[in-house]
Structure 1
Amino acid sequence: MIGKLKGIVDETGLDTALIDVNGVCYLTSCSATTLRQIGGPGDAAVLHIETYVREDQLRLFGFATEAEREWFRLLLSVQRVGAKAALAILSVLDPQSLARAIAFKDAKAIATAQGVGPKVGERIISELKDKVPASLAMAGKEPVPGKEVGEVPAHSAEADAISALVNLGYAQAQAAQAVSRAVAKAGDDVPGAEQLIRVGLKELVS
């Protein structure tokens, strides 16, 4: 199974990229988000690969980031969402934007993807809202005093929230700061991981 490709962009299409790896060219299906990031012919590229093997074909899906590949997998777990629809969604919503759309139950944002209607958007929100945490818009936010990553007890709600954010592609320090903000707002309450993420999200996007 192919997990990652490191090579040179040979050519790109509307939703594909041909990657030259030491003289062997691999055709990968990609979102518009990934195609924008890897550049054009002659540029060095690294793609995280999801390999599909069927009786009559072997197909490679390539992603510029691990977070985008994980979202692709999650989208495919939703009933009646196939690879074409998943790539269409990831073409109009990057991982952070998709996470925000799910957190705020914004089916219309998801439905802006070609071939994806409001009902599919609502189904994605319904089926993924408990599988993934809300994303945090970290850009432009200054660090705030709080617990260091190493001070968070293992297997706690805080640790789970930080781990979930890191898995979405955020730096561990950023995730820890966001969770620290959420803990501070909770006061004397004992919040769960999902609440920590949601409180942090409301603060960061306000």
Structure 2
Amino acid sequence: MIGRITGTLVEKQAPTLIVDVQGVGYEVQVPMTSIYQLPDTGKQVLLHTHFAVSETAQQLFGFATRADRDLFRTLIKVNGVGPKMALAILSGMEGKVLARCVAEDNVAALVKVPGVGKKTAERLLIELRDKLPALGVDVSPLAAMEQASGGVPSLSERDDAEAALVALGYKPTDATKAITAAVKQAPEAKSQELIRLALKAMIPAG
């Protein structure tokens, strides 16, 4: 089992990285939420990893934090969810957003993830409600309300902002990335403010 690697980030072509560890280049699959936290190529990087072996492939998955790696391992234990889908889920939403999604029974947010249908989303909500507390994540409705009132935009605010960017012609992945960055910049912002901040970052000045 390869639990962690440290080396030089040689290539970064999302979702694939190549990390040079003492002359050996490791190919690592990384969710977009971790990609945003990584340094530029040529710099040192530490990744918490999960090594998956199947009949057809051997793959190394990497994460910026141990918590994201643990969440990935929890996701792949859900019936019908493999590493590829788990990676897609964690590329579409951060762990705390996924936890609130579970607390709010938000099927609509999960089915936006490529490859996740309604039945799979419903299964995820049911099974994660039991599994996430073991990771120290509170998925109760009260926790969701406290998070929403404590400076994290509700899923509907994020969804509205992302949908508006897509309607303007931006790719869904670019919209998600821009809104995620906007949320970090202004945690209490409503959808209109998130859109403004995202557009300001996406449209070059001048």
TM-score, scaled relative to structure 1? 0.66
Corresponding residue for residue 128 of structure 1:
128
Q: Please list, as runs of the form range in 1=range in 2, the aligned pairs for 1:163-202 lying within 5 A after superposition.
A: 164-165=135-136, 198-202=141-145
Corresponding residue for residue 104 of structure 1:
104
State the distance in 1 between where 2:135 and 2:69 align.
Answer: 15
Corresponding residue for residue 113 of structure 1:
113
State the distance in 2 between where 1:120 and 1:110 align.
Answer: 9
> CA 1:101 to 1:9, structure 2 compared with 1: closer, same or farther past 3 Å?
same
> CA 1:125 to 1:200, structure 2 compared with 1: closer, same or farther past 3 Å?
closer
Corresponding residue for residue 65 of structure 1:
65
Aligned CA RMSD, in angstroms, stands at 2.1
State the distance in 2 between where 1:116 and 1:56 align.
Answer: 22
Which one-letter code corresponds to 2:142 in the other structure?
A: V
Gaps of 5+ in 1: 134-162, 169-193
Contact 2:104 2:141 (C-alpha < 8 Å) held by counterparts: no
Gaps of 5+ in 2: 150-206
> CA 1:130 to 1:58, structure 2 compared with 1: closer, same or farther past 3 Å?
same
Q: Matched residue of 1:115: which SS?
A: coil
CA shift for structure 1 position 92: 0.8
**Number of residue pairs aligned between Structure 1 and Structure 2:** 149
Contact 1:31 1:91 (C-alpha < 8 Å) held by counterparts: yes
Corresponding residue for residue 5 of structure 2:
5
Contact 1:9 1:20 (C-alpha < 8 Å) held by counterparts: yes
CA shift for structure 1 position 39: 3.0
Corresponding residue for residue 49 of structure 1:
49
CA shift for structure 1 position 6: 0.7
TM-score, scaled relative to structure 2? 0.66
Q: Matched residue of 2:2: which SS?
A: coil
State the distance in 2 between where 1:124 and 1:2 align.
Answer: 27
More helix by share: 2
Contact 1:50 1:61 (C-alpha < 8 Å) held by counterparts: yes
Does residue 23 of structure 1 match 2:35?
Answer: no
State the distance in 2 between where 1:103 and 1:16 align.
Answer: 31
Could you report, residue by residue, the CA deviation over 1:48-90 in whole angstroms, capped at 9, with x for unpaired residues? 0101134554321111111111111111111111111110100
Could you report, residue by residue, the CA deviation over 1:12-33 in whole angstroms, capped at 9, with x for unpaired residues? 1231110111221100111111
Q: Matched residue of 2:71: which SS?
A: helix
List 4+ stretches of structure 1 deviating above 6 A.
none
CA shift for structure 1 position 95: 0.8
Q: Which has the larger radius of gyration?
A: 1
